[in-house]
Every structure is written in structure tokens, then in C-alpha cells.
Structure 1
Amino acid sequence: MTASPQAGERTGRNVVSGVFLGLGVAAFVDETVFHQLLHWHHFYDRSTPAAGLVSDGLFHAFGFFCAVGALFMLADLRRRGVFDARRWWGGLLAGTGGFQLYDGTVQHKLLHLHQIRYRVDLVPYDWTWNVIAVVLLVAGVVLLWRRRR
């Protein structure tokens, strides 16, 4: 028995909604904790403090729009009775972990947009950041893979 195109769309929408909320959550935690509360870095630290604040605002808006869009998608899935919690949570964990891993590798190390902290030994911070990211990503992928089987 093959799944209908409509069933595939429902599956994909559950995952996409979870991924978008995962991106929004990761951006919110990063922005709120590391940028605003701890003052460790800005989204873009290779210019003036004013440019760093503007980059933080754009980053915050990106995360906000991802979260709001995800919640609208979630409401639609629930309204239509096709919400799949395991696929949704798998997407959320994979989205959060994927964003963190991208941030820790591409933005921190490859593009040098910012570091987690400055004037400290970065090794424990980088390892913690990226290990947590991998754990979240793997947990999400495992949930999605198990649901698929």
C-alpha cells in the first residue's frame, strides 16, 4: 500500500513546522541568553557595536518569524486532525540541533561572524556548543527515522 500524496504532504508539514519552531527556539535562546543577558557576542561582531546590535535585531526577527510561521502551521495541522507528534518533535529537535551545529561550525569557525566568547579559551565552549547540537540533531533524526519505519 502506498501513501497518498495528501499523506506525504501532511507528513512533510509536520516536520517543516517542527523544524521552523526548532530554528525559532534556537535563535531565541542564542539571542536572549548569549547576546542580551550574558553579552558574550552579537550576531555580527566584525564591525562596530551599533552594527552588532542591528545584526542582533535582524537575527531576532528571523527567529521570531520562524516561530510564528511554525505555530500557524501547527495550528493548521491540529485543526485538520493530521498532527503527528513524533514527526513534529523530530523536526523540532533536528531544526534546533541543525541550526546550532551550523552556527557553531559555519558562522563561528568558517565565516568568523562571531565567537561564543572572547578573551577566553574557546575549546570547551566550542566542544560544548557543538556536542549539544549533535545530540539534538541525532535525537531528532532518530525520532523521524523511527516514525518512518
Structure 2
Amino acid sequence: MASGAAPRHGGPPPRNIPRPGRSLAVFALIGAALMAAVDEIVFHQILHWHHFFDRSTPGVGLLSDGLLHTAEVIALVAGGALYADLRRSGSLSPPHARAGFLLGLGGFQLFDGIVDHKLLRVHQIRYGVDVTPYDWAWNGAGLLLLLAGAVLAVRARRRTGGGGAGA
């Protein structure tokens, strides 16, 4: 083995080599956590439209909001630490990070709109009104964010010549 070369087995990845898959994943986590925060702060706290879990007492609704808030803060802190590691090692891939951020934003919003609102019915966007326009707006915006992230991910992959999930 040449001097200074990293062993091929185990050990940390080489420094200053972009890691597209990790950059995408870290920023997807940050994007999902940020969208959860926006949802929780705007719709749960400011507008009082719903709680994360509305199928019980108001106390359980508040508890569920607190648990959602805890999860989003943990995800933001973890994402920030992982981002710092990417920066410190010189392995951040900005095009993949941008794609991941939009994928995370849209992925959370679409998951919430389809799974939480429609399949599990843990809450609706708003009560006492026809939810159809709210559903279209919420899910449409989530789909647009997801599609924009997918377009950026394809462009980033083409620009860098690959970059699978393990890269």
C-alpha cells in the first residue's frame, strides 16, 4: 500500500471527497424537521386549527403536539450535527443537499397530508369547514416540493456523475 493511502477496509471515508448520498440524506432530515416545525408552530400553536392527535381529549392533543415538537427539535439538532460533520470533513455536496432539503420538506408534507390526514385520520388541517381546498393546497404544495427536489436530485446526479445512497 502506498504511503499516505487510506486502507480499503473500514475506517472513515477520505477527507475532501463529496458524499452526495449523505448530503442528500442529511438535508432531507433537516427539511422534514423544518416542515414539521412550520406545521406545528403555524397550524397547531398560532392558528389553533388542530393538534397532532385530535381523536382524544384536549390534553392528549397538547401532549401529542409536545411529542411532535420534541421529535422535530431532535431531528433539527441531529441534522445540524450531521451537516457540521459534512462541512468539517469537506464532503458536503451542495447540489445534493439542496435536493435533499426540498425532498424532506415535500416528503413530510405529503406524508402528513395523506397518511395522517386521510389514512390514519389523526387530525384534519382544519375543522368546521370543507377541507377539500385545504387538502388540495397542502398536498399540492407537498407534491410540488417533492417534485422540485426530485428534479434537483436528478440534475445533481448528472452533474456529479452518480452519487448513490452510500456515497
The TM-score normalised by the length of structure 2 is 0.83
| Pair member with larger Rg | 2
Could you tell me which residue of structure 2 aligns to residue 36 of structure 1? Answer: 45
Q: How big is the shift at 1:71? A: 0.7
Kindly report which structure 2 residues correspond to 1:69-148, keeping only aligned pairs within 5 A, or say none: 69-148=78-157
Instruction: Give the 3 Å change call, closer, same or farther, for CA 83–9 of structure 1 in structure 2.
Output: closer
Distance 2:157 2:111 in 1: 25
Structure 1, unaligned stretches of length 5 or more? none
For 2:110, what is the secondary structure of its paired residue? helix
Mark the runs of 5 or more structure 2 residues left unpaired by the alignment: 1-7, 159-167
Greater helix share, structure number: 1
TM-score computed with the length of structure 1 as normaliser = 0.93
**Post-superposition shift, 1:83?**
1.1
Q: Alignment identity in percent?
A: 51
Moved over 4 A (4+): 4-9
Root mean square deviation of aligned Cα: 1.8
